[in-house]
A and B are shown apart, each in its own frame.
Chain A
């Protein structure tokens, strides 16, 4: 772990402020970008060991979309297959700074497929909030190919090409509060 990060991390386990954190994604659909997120997810940052360890879990059935039939299709085996795979999980394997960027490598598991990913973003050093709690901020982004996770649904467009892209941009904005 780099010294700069180490100095700004309280040695503790940080729990997620769910109200002020988001887990979202963006994917090209036909002519523009479809962007949404998940309502239920949890993240823990453990800084008590040599390496900070970031772990997270997302409930794919909590995906936020406006149409009930679309929501149902996303739960089905065509997409997340939430009956058999109720959680998307992430476990970090390394944590470092690259210049000003935070770089977190880890294993992402979607639909039972575990793949290594590199996520980049920012780390906001420990602050004391108005209620006396110590909190840190983490923003991370990673691009993954959904087909590597068995999410292969698509629809051909009438004049060629496919409706839904393969690359998905994952993005989390997290506020973690030191356990008291």
Chain B
């Protein structure tokens, strides 16, 4: 089973990318997580640049192909001004056009998030679930707010808080369960 991880943060030492790596280490046998790293190169959405008879810019072709290859997608988002980062929303806006053929359509997705503040990007996660639902994804109705993220990970990259690790395991189990029968069939 292929899990695609998409971090909403561009920073090299991103807490959210770490959270994806922590999730990767907890997946059940047979499931693998690849982190997509092209977000920074996605150009701003402009309908003039999105003519259907012209190929899309490369970062978007690679993103769409990665989502199509993946059985499920796990997003990890930081929170900027109570919402999701502009660059992540911009990439999703590209992916949503046209809606009927979006690679996210019916794709099982889950959202987790980390922030250096107390609340663990909980509002950004809610907004991201809403946006993914609007695009037609099969959104798992769970959240994982990892607050005080500077101290949230062990040296080995695991979540330091065992309760949070259990929630992450639950989120992953629900996400994987969305496709397990079809993938195993």
Enumerate chain A interface residues (CB-CB to B < 8 A).
Answer: 68-69, 71-73, 75-78, 81, 83, 153
B134–A68 contact, CB under 8 A? no
The answer to whether B31 has its CB under 8 Å from any CB of chain A is no
CA distance A72 to B104 in the complex (A): 12
Contacts of B98 in A (CB 8 A): 68-69, 72
Nearest 8 A/B pairs, CB to CB: A76-B136, A72-B99, A72-B100, A69-B99, A78-B133, A77-B138, A83-B106, A68-B100
CA distance A68 to B96 in the complex (A): 12
Enumerate chain B interface residues (CB-CB to A < 8 A).
Answer: 98-100, 102, 105-106, 133-139
CA distance A69 to B96 in the complex (A): 9
**Residue of A whose beta carbon sits closest to that of B138:** A77
Contacts of A81 in B (CB 8 A): 138
The smallest beta-carbon distance between A93 and chain B, in angstroms, is: 32
Among A71, A72, A76, A81, chain B packs the most CB atoms within 10 A around the CB of A76
Give 14 pairs: A residue, B residue, CB < 8 Å, sorted on A: A68-B98, A68-B100, A69-B98, A72-B98, A72-B99, A72-B105, A73-B134, A76-B106, A76-B135, A76-B137, A77-B133, A77-B138, A78-B133, A78-B136
